[in-house]
Amino acid sequence: MATFDDNGTILLNYSAFYCRFQEDFKYILLPVSYALVFVIGLALNAMALYVIVFRTKRWTPSTIYMFNLTMCDTLYVLTLPFLIYYYADENDWPFSEPVCKLIRFLFYTNLYGSILFLCCISLHRFIGICYPVRSLNWVSARRARLVSVAVWAFVLFCQAPILFFSRTRNTDGERQVCYDTTSPELFDDFLVYSSVVSVLMFALPFMVLMVCYGLMVRKLLEPGWGSEGSERGGLSAQRSKQKSVKMIIIVLAVFMLCFLPFHLTRSLYYSFRYLRQVNPEQISCRLLEASSVAYKVTRPFASANSCVDPILYFLAGQDARSNLTKKIKSSLMQPTSVSHRSTTKL
């Protein structure tokens, strides 16, 4: 039976056989990428929160979902400074074990919260495009709030086991590891838990998303879509079509570039790691190391979603763009106006 530590080392009970990974690259890759995501993501999400909270007069269901998505991304990036310090110090956790549990819990809670709220936004647009009449009764701000509360409850419930699995341990008498997975003796149980979470909170939402987008594209490509009614109604339908197309492109890009590689490489690494424990001869050290490297390389891609989500709001939302433009124009014109008034008094 093999045991693992979080430094990429596999120590086997067979004294003549062991694997040791060379993964010093992660001590540069992860701190630098997380730092970039923290700075850019915090700035963009703070701007989005400002526009939503202070510049949006009427909260539509789409606005409610975007607010919750932005909150997930903001809370997510706020956990990154702890991980930046941890990986920059080469896997030496300077804080307590409860802090380790909390940071890992918040990290994955807000990551999967972002996935589910992206799914909510997509389903909302799908109903409006494919079932416009029924959407008048199905979609409301009150129901969007209830759905948001249900999503938060579901995410918190599913991620609660992280508080049990996440642990710290002294590896060499000096360094204290904050496990990204769990301690070696609990890895088999963690693998089952992680697999269930990946299916419920990524695979199923991704499948639903692909089906909805396929039906939306088919609907939008219909020759008569958006052309009926008055000229004003036709222009409104065309704007709705443009917003829908932008949303499809951005959300698919987030899932395909950020979430999909991360979940695929993580599942592959966990599977190889388990098989290595069961039968060391079945999985070579080189194959296991390659899967571990791929998993760590895709971590920054998953984090980058918190920088892309605000772009979804500003590009797909006409109201958001107009509110932001007004704010920028008023800020630029204010000094000029003050200067003009001062000159007039003189």
Residue 5 confidence (pLDDT): 46
* Reported confidence tier of residue 22, pLDDT bands at 50, 70, 90: confident
pLDDT band at 316 (very low <50, low <70, confident <90, very high): low
Q: Is the pLDDT of residue 47 over 90?
A: yes
Please report, for residues 133, 203, 244, 250, the alpha-carbon distance to residue 122 in angstroms, rounded to integers and kept in the order given: 18, 15, 9, 11
- DSSP β-ladder status, 18-20 and 176-178: unpaired
pLDDT at 248: 85
Least confident of 63-77, 116-130, 324-338: 324-338
Query: Averaging pLDDT over each range in 38-42, 50-54, 254-258, which range is the top one?
Result: 38-42
Read off the pLDDT of residues 166-211 as tens digits, 9 standing for 90 and up: 999 987 777 899 998 898 889 999 999 999 999 999 999 999 999 9
pLDDT at 244: 77
- pLDDT > 70: percent of the chain: 80
The values of phi and psi at residue 12, to 5°, are -100, 155
Q: C-alpha angle 155/195/274, rounded to 5°?
A: 140
pLDDT tens-digit map of 89-112: 999 999 999 999 999 999 999 999
| pLDDT score recorded for residue 153 | 97
Q: Which pLDDT score, from 0 to 100, does residue 17 have?
A: 44
For residues 136-141, give the mean pLDDT: 81
> Is residue 315 pLDDT above 90, yes or no?
no
Q: What percent of the chain has pLDDT over 90?
A: 51
Lowest-confidence range among 21-25, 50-54, 82-86, 331-335? 331-335
pLDDT band for position 318 (cuts 50, 70, 90)? very low
Q: Each residue of 229-241: pLDDT tens digit?
A: 444 445 566 776 7
**Residue 226's pLDDT is what?**
58
Is residue 157 over pLDDT 90?
A: yes
Residue for token pair 């596999």? 10
Cα–Cα dist 329/67, whole Å: 24
Q: Check whether 267 has a pLDDT greater than 70.
A: yes
pLDDT band at 3 (very low <50, low <70, confident <90, very high): very low
Q: How far is CA 17 from the centre of its chain?
A: 39
